[in-house]
Amino acid sequence: MSIKIALVEDDEIIRNNYSEILADEGFEVVVFSNRQEAMNYFQVSLPDIAILDVGLQEERDGGFKLCSDLRRLAPKLPIIFLTSRDEEIDRISGLRLGADDYITKDASINFLMVRIEALFHRIEVLTQSSKPPEFKAEHNNLMFGSLKLDKKLLSAAWKNTPLDLSLTQFWILCELVTPPGEIKTCDKLMHAAHICVEPNTITAHIKTIRSRFRDIDSDFDCIKTERSAGYRWLDKNTSTP
């Protein structure tokens, strides 16, 4: 079965170029030039992967709005931003709204294909995870102090309040806390989330995860940055190795 990619890009030449390249790679491609046109389609039919530009016609941040709406509609759908906007604040904004990856248009097509293939692997993982589990139900539910992880429902809660995390961020968090205290490199976190991204994208995801915790608990400080090494989970209520 072919993978359907939705490409939302307002520049006709760029849209046609990427559409042809993706089709040549064997993907089924549907294209849209603006946010409303794309959202009308998504409400009826969802693609397997969505690729969004940030600026869409008269809407400078139309792609951000579309990402937010699409994430609410399809929490597990892989979303990539492909844009000329390369400021860190834009990258963080895109990932905070639920995108899985953020790529600038100066990237090579081979680079883009690697990122898409990583998300395609995620689709396979999710398909497998939808099958009846062969392990005990208690392995789906993990407690780390005030943090609860449900690997069957792909959800997390802090102090009994649900955390608003994308699927990528949920998997990063699962890896970060297993086991508590162990330093996790960007590569390990990337592998756990079934994505292939740059280290600064993982950094942006970590910032978003922290902010989600702090929306619930302003004193949250369990995710530690270990300079030049990675990140670790340290909680006084959670045992460490």
Residues 103 and 155 reside in one and the same domain:
no
Q: How far apart are CA 27 and CA 211, in angstroms?
A: 36
Q: What per-residue string of b and e applies to 93-129 under the rule 16 or more CB within 10 Å gives b?
A: bbbbbbbbbbbeeeeeeeebeebbebbbebbeeeeee
Q: What per-residue string of b and e applies to 202-235 under the rule 16 or more CB within 10 Å gives b?
A: bbbbbebbbebbeebeeebebbeeeeeebbbbeb
Range of the domain at 212: 137-233
CATH number at residue 173: 1.10.10.10
Which two three-digit tokens encode residue 226?
A: 């270990």
* Alpha helix ranges (H) inside 130-198: 167-176, 186-192
Extended beta strands in 121-168, E state = 141-144, 147-150, 155-158, 161-162
Residue 13 lies inside a defined structural domain of this protein: yes
Domain boundary among 74, 105, 129: 129
Instruction: Note the pTM of the prediction, 2 decimals.
Output: 0.72
DSSP bridge pairs for 50: 6, 79
Number of domains in the chain: 2
With 0-12 / 13-18 / 19 or more C-beta atoms within 10 angstroms meaning exposed / middle / buried, residue 138 is exposed
Q: How far apart are CA 37 and CA 8, in angstroms?
A: 9
Residue 238 lies inside a defined structural domain of this protein: no
Residues 8 and 112 reside in one and the same domain:
yes
Residue 241 lies inside a defined structural domain of this protein: no
The answer to whether residues 144 and 236 touch, using CB atoms and an 8 Å cutoff, is no
Residues 121 and 192 reside in one and the same domain:
no
Taking residues 97-104, what's their average pLDDT?
91
Residues 16 and 124 reside in one and the same domain:
yes
Residues 125 and 26 reside in one and the same domain:
yes
Collect all residues with Cβ–Cβ distance below 8 Å to 23 and sequence separation of at least 6: 29
Which two three-digit tokens encode residue 129?
A: 């995870």
pLDDT value at position 131?
A: 45
Residues 9 and 124 reside in one and the same domain:
yes
Residue 178 lies inside a defined structural domain of this protein: yes
CATH number at residue 67: 3.40.50.2300
DSSP bridge pairs for 8: 32, 52
Lowest mean pLDDT among 102-111, 114-123, 219-228, 232-241: 232-241
Residues 23 and 112 reside in one and the same domain:
yes
Residues 119 and 164 reside in one and the same domain:
no
Residues 21 and 122 reside in one and the same domain:
yes
pLDDT value at position 139?
A: 57
The pLDDT tens digits for 173-222 are 999 998 889 999 999 998 888 777 778 889 999 999 999 999 999 999 99
